[in-house]
Amino acid sequence: MSEASRRPVLQRDYVGGIDGLRGLAALLVLVYHCWIHSGQPNLRVSALRDFVGGGYLGVDLFFVISGFVLFLPMVRRGSPGPGAAYAIRRAGRMLPAYFLALAACVAFRSYLRTDVSHLSFFSWRGLSHVFLLQTPVLAHSTDLGFGVAGQLWTLSNEMLFYVVLFFVASGFSRRPMWGFIATLVIALGWRALVAFGVHDPELKYDVALQVPAYAAHFGLGMLVAIVHARQPPQARDRFARMATSLAVVATAAVLVLVARAGLRGVTGNEAPGDQTLRNLGIAACFALLLLCVVNGPAGIRRVLDAKPLRWLGRVSYGVYLFHLLVIGFATWCLGGHVESARATNLGFIALVGWTLPATCLIAWASFEYLESPIRERGRILAKRYSTT
């Protein structure tokens, strides 16, 4: 393989391998929630159980990828561009499927066997979802996602990152190391507050979900975007020669950290500060893996660009938004079959077998008939603001 063939194309909107990583992150979270809702069965192999039990860390991968994907076009252009155009693009990406999922939560919550909430949509706590402020307002309350879709807490953090990114992008681009150090200090300071300054367990969990705790996740993704766009050709070639080995090491570290997180969750044996170090450590491993994907040899990207995985990545936003709704419907529709198999491996397999294809179908329909058309119109409108 020639040196040139190992280099990623820098001026394309699409970066190979990213959709595959998104697909894996969505799959981790979906399988984790199926495991939780089937009663956390032992899966016969403790290592497999521990890995599945740490699948919530797929969220950390989503945050790192967001930092990369959102910041990369700004690095290439040299600025975030007009604020109106930026807002239109971000709203077109996030809001259509989100509002559809939110409407489904409100409409069907009485049928779903989850933590059903009686929260009024028109109360200030209910309306916080409309403005994507549900995490600062509700944190991990059972009212989050109207008792149906608790994973919506991450959307608040994404939205707040979008807002902050617009204002800090130019400074981060000029001084990336200082920018990353700032995000690391914010994350460490916030997580230290959680670990050692907050003693009430409920409040500790509430504070731990807020966006400053994940500042370094986004910062790591932004740092990868800088390296991807600006790494000199000779340095890129040297990195490509060792990227496969680094990717193997990063993947192994991810597997170990996810499984350790799952084990700690099962046993409840967690020391103060353990979650802080683990989450930041796995974010660093995800960032290294991401760098190996985008700046490494083409072979790494080909693995992640396999058609099923790339397709899953394209619809991963819908998979993430709708999978807990589908799990709720599965529990309701299967009724006693699920209850009788609760905390058994069969119950877990049945729930994954129901949830994965049904969620993918809904996510595909959302992507094709809602998200893509609105995003295309948003891009056209954003171009008008960019040229005025």
Amino acid symbol at 263: L
Per-residue pLDDT tens digits of the chain, which is 388 residues long: 334 434 433 344 578 899 999 999 999 999 999 999 888 998 988 899 999 999 999 999 999 999 999 999 999 988 888 999 999 999 999 999 999 999 999 988 877 754 557 888 889 999 999 999 999 999 888 899 998 899 999 999 999 999 999 999 999 999 999 999 999 999 999 988 888 888 888 888 889 899 999 999 999 999 999 999 999 999 999 999 999 999 999 999 999 999 988 888 776 666 555 566 678 999 999 999 999 999 999 999 999 999 999 999 999 999 999 999 999 888 777 664 444 455 789 889 989 999 999 999 999 999 999 999 999 999 889 888 776 5
pLDDT score of 77: 87
Q: What is the pTM of this model?
A: 0.92
Structure tokens of 76? 């290439």
CA distance 289 to 282: 10
Residue of 329, 332, 353, 349 lying closest to 341 (CA atoms): 349
Q: Residue 4: its pLDDT value, please?
A: 40
Burial 229-254 (b: 16+ CB within 10 A, else e): bebeeeebeebbeebeebbeebeebb
Distance, first Cα to last Cα, the chain: 46
* pLDDT value, residue 383: 85
Angle at 139 between CA 135 and CA 144, to 5 degrees: 80
Cβ atoms 360, 35 nearer than 8 A: no
In the structure encoding, which two tokens stand for residue 315, read together? 């619809």
Distance from the Cα of residue 218 to its chain's centroid: 11
Q: Please enumerate in sequence order all residues whose Cβ is within 8 A of that of 200, keeping only pairs 6 or more positions apart, or say none.
A: none
Beta carbons within 8 Å of 135's beta carbon, 6+ residues apart = 144, 153, 154, 156, 157, 209, 210, 211
- What lies within 8 Å, CB to CB, of 300 at 6+ separation is 17, 243, 244, 247, 292, 293
How many CA atoms, within 13 angstroms, populate the side-chain half-sphere of residue 278?
21
CA distance 261 to 278: 8
Question: For position 257, what pLDDT does the model report?
Answer: 92
Measured distance CA(7)–CA(233) in Å, rounded: 9
